Amino acid sequence: MTENDLNPSGEFERTPGGAILMDGNRLRDEIVARLNERITALGNPHVCLATVLVGDDKPSQIYVRNKRKKADEAGMVSRHVELSADISQADLEAAVSELANDPGVHGILVQLPLPDGLDAERVLDLLPAEKDVDGLTERSMGRLVRGRDGHVPCTPLGVMRLMERYGVETSGKSAVVIGRSTLVGLPQVLLLGRKGCDATPTLAHSRSGDLAAICRQADIIVAAVGVAGLVTAEFVKPGAAVLDVGISRTAEGIQGDVDFDSVQELAGAITPMPRGTGPMTIGCLMENTFNAARMLGALPSS
């Protein structure tokens, strides 16, 4: 905890309703600063994150630019490969294979989604598990399931880091994860239930009966389904921690899965949207890249 997280009464920053505000921007920047300190202390060794961007999708361009910026701030080398939207599958795979085989590249991020007509799974299959810093491949998921050393998908890892940082108790607690994607929902359940975290997770989804009743039993709610404003005060037990991962683009702008205004009146801790779980995805990408360099022998193992 830093002084910047505290209000004059000596407590974490809180919402008008009294919930602890879990600030992802602040924690992301703390993670990046700590990584910079560690890399500097090691003599500024070469740690390289390679990003691959296909096409001219504006949000994807922004996401990649922000990731490269934070890599620079962490003291890492940022290598960028930008390809046209009409690239062939074979040429895209050749470009990714070149990075996969380059010993000077430690982490590879292929920005998704890819343009129509390109098979993302075939591209991701080319990534060595050690360089899969997004944690998206079946090998990375298998390592997570088996409890082996590997990279955890950045968004669910960011959720865990926020709870650790803001003192959300997990051991023996009930957690509900709404959404069953392989990117967030499934790995989130695994992280919450594994030894050391020791929560009792429930995976809920669009087919779950009486979703509000299921969530009201939970000490922790992770909303990751992409339905704007789905989680209202009706879903929340007083004092529960609520983490909003879902993003929807609506006529009113970008919205999360959580109706922040009503939920913050009941929650014990809550993430804002934006400034919540989104920035943590980038922070944990930097953490995974540092660990990738260690796994590949570019950094000391401890």
Are 43-128 and 154-279 the same fold in CATH? yes
Q: What is the pLDDT of residue 3?
A: 44
Q: Which of 23, 70, 111, 244 does the annotation list as catalytic?
A: 111
Q: Which of 5, 23, 132, 134 does the annotation list as catalytic?
A: 134
* CATH 3.40.50.10860, applies to 43-128: yes
Q: What is the pLDDT of residue 302?
A: 67
Beta bridge partners of 221: 176, 242
Q: Which residues of the chain have pLDDT under 70?
A: 1-11, 302
Residue 300: exposure state from Cβ atoms within 10 A (0-12, 13-18, ≥19): exposed
Known catalytic residue: 134?
Answer: yes
Cα–Cα distance, 165 to 65 (Å, whole number): 26
Q: What is the pLDDT of residue 5?
A: 55
Residue ranges per structural domain of the chain: 43-128, 154-279
Q: Are 54 and 87 in contact (CB under 8 A)?
A: yes
Known catalytic residue: 111?
Answer: yes
Q: Which of 67, 70, 131, 173 does the annotation list as catalytic?
A: 67
Known catalytic residue: 237?
Answer: no
Cα–Cα distance, 302 to 298 (Å, whole number): 12
Architecture of domain 154-279: 3-Layer(aba) Sandwich (3.40)
Q: What is the pLDDT of residue 9?
A: 46
